[in-house]
Amino acid sequence: MTVEIHDDAEALARAAAEMVLREIRAGRKRLLLAGGTTPSHTYELVGRGAQPGDYKGVHIFFGDERAVPPDHVESNYRMVRRAWLDPARFPPERVHRIRGEIDPERAARLAEEDLRAVAGEPVGLDLALLGLGTDGHTASLFPGSEALAESLRLYVPAREGRRITGTYPLLNCVDRVVFLVSGASKAEAVRSALHDPPGTVPASLVQPRGGAATWLLDREAASLLD
């Protein structure tokens, strides 16, 4: 497991954006993006740093979505569009959003079909950016959620239908997973994910195909690590 600690949120976002661009330029084109608020600035910096041709062949998928329309303030897709896709004029046909506006069960099935159509058989993605909640959730895999036990489907409804989330089968078919975590409020969740027995928090059960996850942290988020 690799842990990188950066001085502050700005330095963290810069490092994360440089990592994403490096990975894309190395040919890792099938991306799974985190929602929430932390990664927004990283996505802005990726958009600003990309060169013509960087997006060739890149497909964007989402780790989870809220059960809201795509223009809703809580939509992860809306956040990524505003931060990166629209300013960069990213080809919309290669952005595979989860349809938060329809029945969550149907949205989960369509998201899986969409992903399988691009990511091959067996399904493989190249890079995932994931966030971490203060309770140690990632995507919408919350502690105690039924979604944690899903062993076949790649996306399922969660939070009584208020979310659609990628499952461990999805996250574990990614070659490289990078957690991007900022702020003192996440320090205990980071400590638990890295130091407590696997499964103590949901994020600690993400086992990427290509080896242990990388953790990109700022000092505050890393403040409880040994």
CA distances from 209 to 122, 123, 131, 182 (A): 12, 11, 18, 25
Least distance CB 7 / ligand 6PG (angstroms): 19
Q: Which is nearer to ligand 6PG, 63 or 157 (CB)?
A: 63
Q: Does 36 bind ligand 6PG (CB under 6 A)?
A: yes
Least distance CB 66 / ligand 6PG (angstroms): 6
| Residues from 124 through 183 that contact ligand 6PG (CB under 6 A) | 131-133, 137-140
Cα distance between residue 97 and residue 107, in whole Å: 10
Q: Does 70 bind ligand 6PG (CB under 6 A)?
A: no
Cα distance between residue 41 and residue 21, in whole Å: 14
Q: Which is nearer to ligand 6PG, 25 or 37 (CB)?
A: 37
Write out the DSSP string of 65-122: EESS-TTSTT-HHHHHIIIIIHHHT--GGGB----TTS-HHHHHHHHHHHHHHHHTTT
Residues in contact with ligand 6PG, total (CB under 6 A)?
15
DSSP state of 34: -
Least distance CB 53 / ligand 6PG (angstroms): 29
Q: Does 38 bind ligand 6PG (CB under 6 A)?
A: yes
In contact, 158 and 93? CB cutoff 8 Å: no
Cα distance between residue 191 and residue 139, in whole Å: 18
When binding is defined by CB under 6 A, the residue of 15, 16, 34, 221 that contacts ligand 6PG is: 34
Residues that bind ligand 6PG (CB under 6 A): 34-38, 63-64, 76, 131-133, 137-140
